[in-house]
Amino acid sequence: MNDKIESQEKLSDSPIIQIIEMHKWFGDFHVLRDINLSVNKGERIVICGPSGSGKSTLIRCINRLEEHQRGRIIVDNIELTNDIKNVEKIRAEVGMVFQHFNLFPHLTILDNLTLGPIWVRKTPRAKAEDMAMYYLEKVHIAEQAKKFPGQLSGGQQQRVAIARSLCMKPKVMLFDEPTSALDPEMVKEVLDVMIQLAQEGMTMLVVSHEMGFARSVAHRVLFMDFGQILEQNTPKEFFSNPQHERSKLFLSQILH
């Protein structure tokens, strides 16, 4: 898994996510400035940058957990507006994995996974459960299906969270610092699942400081600071030859 995965499929040219001149403010604080980003189907992007740079806010805008105030965001040919029906449609197509897993503690693992398919996709329960077991096996955790989230370790919970998103058969997966809340020995099991997902051609946007992961699976690395995308390049170029002063400084601090 050390070498970069050669993507078997050719990247499709039609962008699945398009962000055009997007701005966002928290009160008076200008958190995202003039973001332009186009993501093709099958593309894998790792977003890095110092904390407070706006990277989490950026991916949270894509499924409208945060509202943008200027510019346009178009996901899967639907523009994100205040129309809640459109937003719900997009959210069903865009999976999200959170830093703190956010599993539903009152439901079993199996029910966590079948909730979306049953209520949003209207899948019959039996079929939803089969699908849930398929994805649980995929993240190597099928034997825990009847347990509750509180009985699982952090790494297991995060793998369940990934499987929960996959059950919706999303077109895009967003990862918001998926390994930063984990104990060091659990990071690998989660990254392995994400690498496996990358190999299958999932479109992924990953906010992460796991540079090894970025090297091995990303097509593109975005570097953000001050709410702007300061640099984007292939991982190879980005790590060996960063252009921007901020990226050089950032890399020198995290790569020892």
Residue 125 binds other proteins, judged by CB under 8 A: no
Q: Which 3 state secondary structure label does DSSP give 45?
A: strand
Among 134, 148, 226, 239, binds other proteins (CB under 8 A): 148
Residue 116 binds other proteins, judged by CB under 8 A: yes
Residue 195 binds other proteins, judged by CB under 8 A: no
Packing angle, helices 125-138 and 109-119, rounded to 10: 130
The C-alpha torsion from 141 through 143 and 134 to 172, rounded to 10°, is -30
- Strand spans (E) along 49-180: 70-75, 78-79, 94-97, 172-176
Q: What's the one-letter identity of residue 114?
A: T
Residue 96 binds other proteins, judged by CB under 8 A: yes
Residues whose CB is less than 8 angstroms from the CB of residue 188 and which lie 6 or more positions away in sequence, other chains included:
none
Among 5, 115, 142, 251, binds other proteins (CB under 8 A): 115
Among 72, 106, 236, 248, binds other proteins (CB under 8 A): 106
Which one, 89 or 138, has the nearer CB to other proteins? Answer: 89
Residue 178 binds other proteins, judged by CB under 8 A: no
Residues whose CB is less than 8 angstroms from the CB of residue 104 and which lie 6 or more positions away in sequence, other chains included:
111, 112, 115, 149
Which one, 94 or 139, has the nearer CB to other proteins? Answer: 94
Q: Which 3 state secondary structure label does DSSP give 153?
A: coil
Within residues 75-94, the interface with other proteins by CB under 8 A covers 84, 88-89, 91-92, 94
Residue 139 binds other proteins, judged by CB under 8 A: no
The binding site for other proteins (CB under 8 A) comprises 63, 65, 84, 88-89, 91-92, 94-96, 98, 100, 102-106, 115-116, 119-120, 148, 150, 164-165, 168
